[in-house]
Structure 1
Amino acid sequence: MALIAPIDASFLLMETREQPMHVGGLQIFQLPDGAGPDYVGDLYRRLLTYDTLRGLYRRRPSMPSNILGDLWWKDERDKDVDLEYHVRLSALPKPGRVRELLELVSRLHGTLLDRHRPLWEFHLIEGLEDNRFATYGKVHHALVDGIRGTQESAGQYSPDPAAELPPMWAPRDKPASARTKAESSTERRAPWRAAAELVGDVAGVAPTLMKVFTDSISKDSAAVAFTAPKTMLNVSLTGARRFAAQSWPIDRIKKVAKANGATINDVVLAMCSGALRRYLVANDALPTKSLIAAVPVALPVADTSREGGNAVTMVLSRLATEIADPLERLTAIRASMLTAKESMAGRSTLQINAVGMATTIVPTGLNLIPGYVAYGRTPYNLVISNVPGPREPLYWNGARLLGWYPVSVPTEGLALNMTVLSYADNMEFGLTGCRRSVPHLQHLLDYLEDSLAELEQ
């Protein structure tokens, strides 16, 4: 049995019926030319033949009904994994529009993964109009973060339409040339040098936290935990979810970024900020103070051979929702993100992780205390994540991947999550919210378009 890393264990400990802790993805495919009427059914039966699984997809908590079981992983044997439970075939009701697809994904995303089994599911969905089909998969956040989950899914796709690759749970060959420089340097590093670096990293945690604290006092652009206004989004969750998704051409976002000396991520945050401002105004709920977003940041990983786990931290950014002018809002967001980046510059992975734990992850844990969400201060308002994805069109055994939408995790006190994935020529927005607490979630898609359009003007 393998020990569960502390950050991975926290995602297991935080999970409740109202707060499922899995990440997912929705992919939409075009049926290949000449596909027969039972193409998706044949594909499903072919997937079930891949009954040898990688370790990540055989892993579950060692004692699902005991809190101490969240300390160790148990790897099931291949023959003990019921593949027909994990890999499922579904069909949409007619007329098979995207609306029916999103309703199905909303329901699937709101159900807990069974801790007596490996913590993943894969759904093959037929009946989508215009000769399309879809897949929806989910994996527990204790096993993968958003970036690692994207990499897992991408491994079964290819830019070659004729290529046939195994599904993500099946073993994959890793050529010797795939070893990274980081792995090689780790092997060459003497134990005493590694120990000295660790001591230096630990010693630098306190100065790093102090730097973040002084920046939060001295710089108006800094976003500080517990200074966020309480909004209609910062309430307790129910177990049901609602999901909405849409694509935007990345060239539109790049042009806005170039014209304003900003990054693509700055413009994505500005789009979300403008959409949130419109949404809150429409619900007569816009606060006078700026909303604050937690923005996940990938950490460098030296040991790329380690399968699964989380390698992300989070920084805080002001969204400037109190500013009406879209360009002034973008400028304020850019300044806030620069302040966050400067506080992390030159820091080690351990030190950056410590800052993320202190400023975002630990404060969020307070929301799990009964009554805190209703009466305590809000650490921040929502999570906005930008995940890098494949930049070329991909195929899955001949079927072209048309769209790839992230389905993420609202948490107690943070009823809305906005995650963006770059794929080919598009930025794919996936909005996941509590079904009761975020009414008319789909309106945010219109507001995202309005927000981008005003930035272009």
Structure 2
Amino acid sequence: MPTDAVFLLGESREHPMHVGGLQLYEPPPGAGPDFVREFTDALISSDEFQPTFRKHPATIMGGITPMAWAYDDEVDVDYHVRRSALASPGRVRELLELTSRLHTSLLDRHRPLWELYVVEGLKDGRFAMYCKMHHALIDGVSAQKLMQRALSNDPDDPEIRAPWSLAKPKRKSSPTSRVGSLLRTAGSVAALGPSTVSLARAALFEQQVTLPFGAPRTMLNVKIGGARRCAAQSWSVDRIKSVKRAAGVTLNDVVLAMCSGALRYYLLEQNALPDTPLVAMVPVSLRREDEADAGGNLVGAILCNLATDADDPAERLQAVSESMRSNKKVFSELPRIQALALSAMNMGSLALAAVPGWVNSTSPPFNLVISNVPGPQEQLYCGGARLDGNYPLSAILDGQALNITLVSNAGNLDFGLVGCRRSVPHLQRLLAHLESSLKDLERAVGV
């Protein structure tokens, strides 16, 4: 498909175009010292590969072309599935440092575009899996769903299911991606016609909504290098719901305000907080109530005022809530074709980031993407090992040096942060700032 080619053509050493995920597991009770080895061997023994896990860019006349796919009849599973161990002392810090290096490296285009790492050596006895797949093969939401299908809600289920061996489910409608689908929307804006885009622009200016290119220039909105840094942590959904109920806002409003406070702490620490508020691009569902059971997914690119200029956490939360409410109202009142045009207009500048001088000479359309992805509500297991954490790791682009994505997971929200290693120093400090920001919100609303 042409969209597959876009992700392949847009990839460079500075812009790896894969999505990844880090999962933490607690071995089952009574598991012996060889459990992780046996777990990995069980994965490797799954030698049935669905087409998605067999394809890579075709080689034509001696060169690789991103315009066609080739399918390997024999997949070298020992190359794609790798077992490794952490250096002492085996903390989560060492795991995230390893994950950062793995998330940095490009996938080999001569082979199917995916890799899976099973990592042992955590001092608390847990082990991890890190998997990455090229965005040309799969989007982030689909990758999450695929991993969930490989798991079980039965702790006594001994089967270890390899994601690549699962048959593709019958497709009701294509799920919409996070970065991928929004870039597709941006790329298709021309097809909507100038009159439709004009109507969407008119709707914007008639309403008090957050406009693209109104975001301040910050240290996060620069050309990026090729190295990545990853950070991850979980927070209890109950804590966030308590703030939600006390403040009379949505759960996603609390998440955005939590991120807003953390970004404010971080930028103050770097002496880089702008006077005007940061703006986040937030993927949200545009589905109407009467379409709740219609299948598929419709996602819009909504811009949210994060109110990082406000010192009072309660004021920030209300400003975030009002921004999201008013912006979603505009989307809900637009005809669907205009809502898609508006999303494309909000996202369109990302396609121009590769133009020389564009990032440095224009105001950013927004400062970062914050995505909240639905995940499993019940506890899941793999071969009896309990899934403790499920951290999504997305791609970043020129002008967007930081991405925050979170997934709901059995009573927790699992945050995965990805930043440019050069442009976003001490990324892990954002985790402590997220906790401080949540505590600020709890105090502000009296919970």
Deviation at 1:47, TM superposition (A): 1.0
What's the % identity of the aligned pairs? 48
User: Structure 1 residues 226 and 87, CA, compared in 2 at 3 Å: closer, same or farther?
Assistant: same
1:441: which partner in 2?
427
SS at match of 2:353: helix
Tell whether 2:22 aligns with 1:36. no
Matches within 5 A, 1:42-441: 42-63=38-59, 69-77=65-73, 79=74, 81-163=75-157, 164-172=159-167, 174=169, 209-220=197-208, 222-297=209-284, 313-345=300-332, 352-360=339-347, 362-441=348-427
User: Structure 1 residues 389 and 317, CA, compared in 2 at 3 Å: closer, same or farther?
Assistant: same
> For residues 415 and 65 of structure 1, what CA distance do their matches in structure 2 show?
37
**Do the aligned partners of 2:279 and 2:367 also contact (CA within 8 Å) in 1?**
yes
> For residues 9 and 294 of structure 1, what CA distance do their matches in structure 2 show?
25
Query: Which AA in structure 2 matches 1:32?
Result: P
Query: Which AA in structure 2 matches 1:19?
Result: H
Query: Which AA in structure 2 matches 1:294?
Result: M
User: Structure 1 residues 385 and 130, CA, compared in 2 at 3 Å: closer, same or farther?
Assistant: same
Moved more, 48-57 or 289-298: 289-298
Query: Which AA in structure 1 matches 2:222?
Result: V
Query: Which AA in structure 1 matches 2:135?
Result: H
SS at match of 2:163: coil
User: Structure 1 residues 98 and 378, CA, compared in 2 at 3 Å: closer, same or farther?
Assistant: same
**Do the aligned partners of 2:243 and 2:254 also contact (CA within 8 Å) in 1?**
yes
Deviation at 1:215, TM superposition (A): 4.2
Query: Which AA in structure 1 matches 2:167?
Result: R
SS at match of 1:70: strand
Query: Which AA in structure 2 matches 1:380?
Result: F
Q: Deviations over 1:152-203 (max 9, x none)?
A: 11111111012215211103385xxx775x79xxxxxxxxxxxxxxxxx999
> For residues 61 and 101 of structure 2, what CA distance do their matches in structure 1 show?
25
Q: Deviations over 1:1-42 (max 9, x none)?
A: xxx143x43322221111111111111111112222121111
| Alignment TM-score, normalising by the size of structure 1 | 0.85
> For residues 116 and 339 of structure 2, what CA distance do their matches in structure 1 show?
34
SS at match of 1:71: strand
2:180: which partner in 1?
none
Query: Which AA in structure 2 matches 1:134?
Result: A
**Do the aligned partners of 1:208 and 1:355 also contact (CA within 8 Å) in 2?**
no
SS at match of 2:219: coil
SS at match of 1:389: coil
User: Structure 1 residues 255 and 215, CA, compared in 2 at 3 Å: closer, same or farther?
Assistant: farther
> For residues 5 and 354 of structure 1, what CA distance do their matches in structure 2 show?
20
SS at match of 1:62: strand
Query: Which AA in structure 2 matches 1:112?
Result: L
Query: Which AA in structure 2 matches 1:132?
Result: R
Query: Which AA in structure 2 matches 1:337?
Result: M
> For residues 161 and 64 of structure 1, what CA distance do their matches in structure 2 show?
48
> For residues 76 and 13 of structure 2, what CA distance do their matches in structure 1 show?
23
Deviation at 1:389, TM superposition (A): 0.5
> For residues 357 and 63 of structure 1, what CA distance do their matches in structure 2 show?
34
Deviation at 1:65, TM superposition (A): 10
SS at match of 2:65: helix
SS at match of 2:165: coil
Deviation at 1:205, TM superposition (A): 6.6
Query: Which AA in structure 1 matches 2:343?
Result: G
User: Structure 1 residues 271 and 212, CA, compared in 2 at 3 Å: closer, same or farther?
Assistant: farther
| Alignment TM-score, normalising by the size of structure 2 | 0.87
Task: Count matched residues.
Answer: 424
> For residues 162 and 47 of structure 2, what CA distance do their matches in structure 1 show?
10
> For residues 312 and 208 of structure 1, what CA distance do their matches in structure 2 show?
18
Deviation at 1:373, TM superposition (A): 1.9
User: Structure 1 residues 316 and 88, CA, compared in 2 at 3 Å: closer, same or farther?
Assistant: same
Query: Which AA in structure 1 matches 2:414?
Result: E
> For residues 441 and 340 of structure 1, what CA distance do their matches in structure 2 show?
30
Could you list the runs of 5+ residues in structure 1 that have no partner in the other structure?
184-200
Could you list the runs of 5+ residues in structure 2 that have no partner in the other structure?
175-188
> For residues 352 and 22 of structure 1, what CA distance do their matches in structure 2 show?
28
**Do the aligned partners of 2:200 and 2:339 also contact (CA within 8 Å) in 1?**
no
SS at match of 2:243: helix
> For residues 65 and 270 of structure 1, what CA distance do their matches in structure 2 show?
53
**Aligned-pair Cα RMSD in Å:** 2.9
Deviation at 1:211, TM superposition (A): 4.9
Deviation at 1:346, TM superposition (A): 6.1
> For residues 60 and 14 of structure 2, what CA distance do their matches in structure 1 show?
18
1:186: which partner in 2?
none
Deviation at 1:210, TM superposition (A): 3.9
